[in-house]
């Protein structure tokens, strides 16, 4: 048991307080039967002139019945729900909902709640499937790049595009791709490789580049733009993914900073190769002799690698090995001489590695970090038929004007710049509310999407209550839960009992403040008081089988003090009218008053809770409109 003294996680506090006053238990999810299905609009309570509908009651019952420490029926819950609603009424009468502190705290919770409705949690499922598909294939392509900054002026952007367009025409007319790449491409490597990228796989290029590569079967792509500039590529061939290899190696380093020159390193590696051929263990030889000190500690073992992640000569040797345990002859790379041993190969990335890659993408890439929100906004754009009516004008202003005040002034001269769901947004509103969504380091197209997302997110927040019943009820729970917290704190939780009250409670309930007590018998949980009365009569007549059929849950076992059912066996306020006890209670050994102090305070708060509920019922005279 933990005594609550702060507002942390008010939603959970509100729910659990509703059951147990000032206690927070580690709860066990249990089931309880619902009554017949009723119309959500039907009133269950009337407090003053306000009706509370069955829909709201049912929603909160469903939420809370799954966290109750013991099963609870609809009828039993109605008593607690009524007390909760009376506290809400009292808090509003006291004006708590008009205070700045309440409004600020409520806004914080509502903002968090709204944000959960502005994301698409399935977005990464699509990315995962696409990644798994692309991991099975590699692409060989050549490309040409004409560089242009993301925030370049329209004139500079057009000049770069025309240069790329001219290069594409030359290649399309039959001119040698590599010749054009060497003359035009602004990728530094093009001067030596003619734009030939070799084979590459998923996650090795920026996302737009990868998309065009994998979506083009063979031949030339259209011109497309990334943060580096304008590109087009020629897909030469596609092949099944070569996979990854897990290897060990022994290395003798040469060159700058090495202890050996190349000739000495060659003699040393040859000697080690001879030792391996004579039966020496590869891992042991690596630990004792390899100049790669990090891998040497692991017997020469390196992580899983793809061909493109390692020196070409090493990759050729590693992928040429076919049998686990085989090793290569000494091979030369630019950093040393190596002997490579194959530990394992794989052509499919394990599920845990896929999840790890997705996690890295989400952490490191702004695009993937915001993917769930941008995916949701894209769906809303279709739902609300979003359209830019002056897209080019907005982009021109944002690229030409660098100061915020100039941008706002020029945008304000535009009439409707976008429409959605029958709503128009003016240039002035765009500049005043959504300007910060523009990031100079991003492409204009991405920035226009960001501004669209800002517009749609603001609008969608105003629609959530009418679109989603769960949102409507949960927002009410947040708001009312804060009110209940304040009223309960003032009247119950923050009113600490004195030593006289504590002693009185202890002396009149010594059996409750004991250890080692037991209950031998059966507990019958009933949906209504009427059913509980019938169960009691059936037990009195010795018809226990009949009693079990009437109860929705039966607990027939030895129950020990300190467990989940203490409040039923040693009640602090009164017997629970919905639970029938049939058995023998054996009290344990009493604890001292000092040992029981915390439990006594909690119990006194429960009593104060019951007294306060009675006071509110007398004050507001609520009407119950439903029968079970």
418 vs 204: which has the higher pLDDT: 418
Structure tokens at 423: 């709503």
Tens of pLDDT, residue by residue over 252-303, are 999 888 889 999 999 999 999 999 999 999 999 999 999 999 999 999 999 9
Residue 1: band (very low, low, confident or very high) from pLDDT cuts 50, 70, 90: very low
348 versus 320: the higher-pLDDT residue is 320
Residue ranges and CATH numbers for the domains of the chain are 2-117+469-493 (no CATH), 137-240 (3.10.50.40), 244-346 (3.10.50.40), 384-466 (no CATH), 500-620 (no CATH)
Neighbour tally for 580: CB within 10 Å: 25
Q: Name the residue among 596, 602, 582, 576 with its Cα closest to residue 496.
A: 602
Q: What pLDDT digit, counting tens, does each position of 393-412 carry?
A: 999 999 999 899 999 999 99
Model confidence at 18: pLDDT above 70: no
Q: 458 vs 156, 278, 453, 621, CA distance in Å?
A: 34, 74, 8, 41
Arithmetic mean of pLDDT over the chain: 90
For residue 315, the model assigns a pLDDT of: 95
Return d(Cα 378, Cα 460) in angstroms, integer: 12
pLDDT at 14 over 50: no
Which backbone phi and psi does 233 adopt, to 5 degrees?
-140, 165
pLDDT at 551 (0 to 100): 96
Decide if pLDDT at 12 tops 50.
Answer: no
Give whichever of 24-33, 171-180, 465-474, 487-496 has the largest mean pLDDT.
Answer: 171-180
pLDDT in tens, 566-619: 999 999 988 999 999 999 999 999 999 999 999 999 999 999 999 999 999 999
pLDDT surpasses 70 at 200: yes
- pLDDT at residue 38 tops 70: no
- The residues near 275 (Cβ < 8 Å, ≥ 6 apart) are 285
State how far the Cα of 133 lies from the Cα of 211, in Å rounded to an integer: 12
Contact between residue 180 and residue 167 where contact means Cβ atoms under 8 Å apart? yes
Which of 351, 458, 381 lies closest to 128, judged by CA?
Answer: 351
Q: For position 380, what pLDDT does the model report? A: 97
Q: What percent of the chain has pLDDT over 90?
A: 78
Residue 240, exposed/middle/buried by CB under 10 A (0-12, 13-18, 19+)? Answer: exposed
- Which one, of 257, 261, 287, 294, lies nearest residue 272 by Cα? 287
Pairing of strands 23-24, 229-240: unpaired
User: Other CB atoms closer than 10 Å to residue 49's CB: what's the count?
Assistant: 5
Give me 288's structure tokens.
């004792």
The partner residues of 463 in beta bridges, in order of sequence, read none
Nearest to 200, CA basis, from 170, 153, 236, 168: 236
pLDDT band at 16 (very low <50, low <70, confident <90, very high): very low
Q: CA 554, CA 552: separation in Å to the nearest integer?
A: 7
Q: Is 425 helix (H, G, I), strand (E, B) or coil?
A: strand
> Tokens standing for 563?
């467990």
Predicted confidence band at 39 (pLDDT cuts at 50, 70, 90)?
A: low
Vertex 606, ends 480 and 483: CA angle to 5°?
15
Q: Does the pLDDT of residue 238 top 60, yes or no?
A: yes
> Could you tell me where the DSSP H helices lie in 278-370?
282-289, 293-296, 312-320, 351-364, 366-369
CA 61/CA 77 separation, integer angstroms = 7
Segment (H or E) for 140 = strand 137-147
pLDDT above 90 (res 196) = yes
Q: How many CB atoms lie within 10 A of CB 88?
A: 23
Average pLDDT of span 330-355: 92
Q: Is the pTM of this model over 0.75?
A: no
Burial of 407 (C-beta count, 10 Å sphere; 0-12/13-18/19+): buried
Using CB atoms within 10 Å of the CB of residue 377, give its burial: 0 to 12 exposed, 13 to 18 middle, 19+ buried: buried
In this predicted structure, the answer to whether residue 2 has a pLDDT above a threshold of 80 is no
């Amino acid at each position: 048991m933990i005594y609550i003294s702060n507002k942390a996680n008010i939603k959970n506090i509100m729910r659990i307080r509703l059951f147990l006053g000032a206690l927070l238990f580690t709860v066990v999810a249990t089931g309880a039967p619902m009554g017949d299905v009723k119309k959500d609009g039907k009133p269950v309570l009337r407090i003053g002139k306000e009706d509370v509908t069955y829909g709201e009651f049912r929603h909160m019952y469903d939420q809370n019945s799954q966290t109750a420490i013991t099963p609870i029926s609809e009828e039993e819950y109605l008593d607690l729900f009524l007390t909760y609603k009376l506290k809400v009424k009292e808090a509003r009468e006291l004006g708590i909902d008009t205070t700045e502190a309440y409004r600020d705290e409520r806004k914080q919770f509502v903002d968090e709640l709204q944000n959960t409705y502005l994301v698409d949690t399935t977005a990464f499922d699509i990315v995962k499937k696409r990644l798994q598909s692309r991991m099975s294939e590699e692409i060989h392509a050549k490309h040409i790049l004409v560089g242009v900054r993301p925030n370049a002026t329209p004139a500079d952007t057009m000049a770069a595009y025309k240069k790329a367009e001219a290069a594409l025409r030359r290649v399309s007319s039959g001119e040698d791709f590599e010749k054009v790449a060497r003359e035009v491409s602004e990728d530094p490597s093009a001067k030596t490789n003619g734009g030939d990228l070799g084979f590459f796989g998923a996650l090795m290029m920026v996302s737009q580049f990868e998309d065009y590569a994998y979506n083009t079967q063979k031949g030339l792509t259209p011109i497309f733009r990334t943060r580096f500039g304008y590109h087009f590529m020629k897909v030469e061939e596609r092949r099944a993914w070569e996979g990854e290899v897990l290897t060990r190696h022994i290395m003798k380093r040469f060159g700058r900073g090495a202890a050996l020159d190349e000739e000495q390193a060659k003699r040393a590696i040859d000697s080690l190769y001879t030792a391996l051929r004579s039966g020496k263990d590869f891992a042991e030889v690596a630990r004792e002799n390899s100049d790669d000190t990090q891998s040497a500690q692991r017997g020469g073992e390196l992580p899983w690698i793809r061909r493109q992640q390692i020196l070409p000569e090493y990759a050729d040797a590693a992928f040429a090995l076919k049998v686990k345990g085989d090793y290569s002859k000494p091979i030369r790379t630019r950093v040393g001489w190596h002997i490579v041993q194959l530990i394992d190969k794989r052509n499919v990335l394990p599920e845990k590695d896929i999840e790890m890659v997705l996690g890295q993408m989400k952490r490191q890439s702004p695009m993937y970090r915001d993917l769930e929100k941008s995916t949701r906004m894209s769906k809303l754009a279709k739902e609300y038929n979003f359209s830019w009516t002056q897209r080019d004008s907005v982009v021109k202003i944002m690229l030409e004007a660098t100061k915020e005040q100039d941008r706002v002034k020029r945008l304000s001269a535009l009439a409707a710049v976008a429409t959605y769901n029958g709503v128009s947004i003016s240039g002035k509103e765009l500049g005043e509310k959504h300007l910060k969504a523009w990031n100079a380091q991003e492409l204009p197209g991405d920035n226009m999407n960001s501004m669209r997302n800002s517009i749609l997110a603001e609008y969608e927040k105003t629609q959530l209550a009418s679109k989603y019943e769960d949102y409507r009820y949960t927002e009410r729970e947040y708001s009312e839960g804060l009110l209940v917290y304040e009223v309960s704190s003032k009247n119950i939780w923050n009113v600490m009992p004195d030593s006289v009250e504590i002693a009185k409670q202890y002396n009149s309930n010594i059996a409750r403040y004991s250890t080692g007590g037991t209950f031998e018998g059966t507990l019958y949980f009933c949906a209504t008081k009427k059913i509980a009365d019938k169960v009691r009569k059936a037990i009195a007549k010795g018809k226990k089988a009949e009693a079990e059929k009437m109860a929705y849950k039966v607990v027939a076992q030895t129950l020990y003090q300190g467990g989940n059912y203490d409040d039923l066996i040693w009640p602090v306020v009164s017997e629970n009218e919905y639970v029938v006890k049939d058995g023998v209670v054996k009290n344990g050994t009493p604890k001292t008053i000092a040992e029981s102090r915390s439990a006594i305070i909690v119990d006194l708060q429960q009593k104060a809770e019951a007294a306060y509920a009675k006071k509110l019922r007398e004050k507001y005279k609520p009407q119950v409109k439903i029968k079970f």
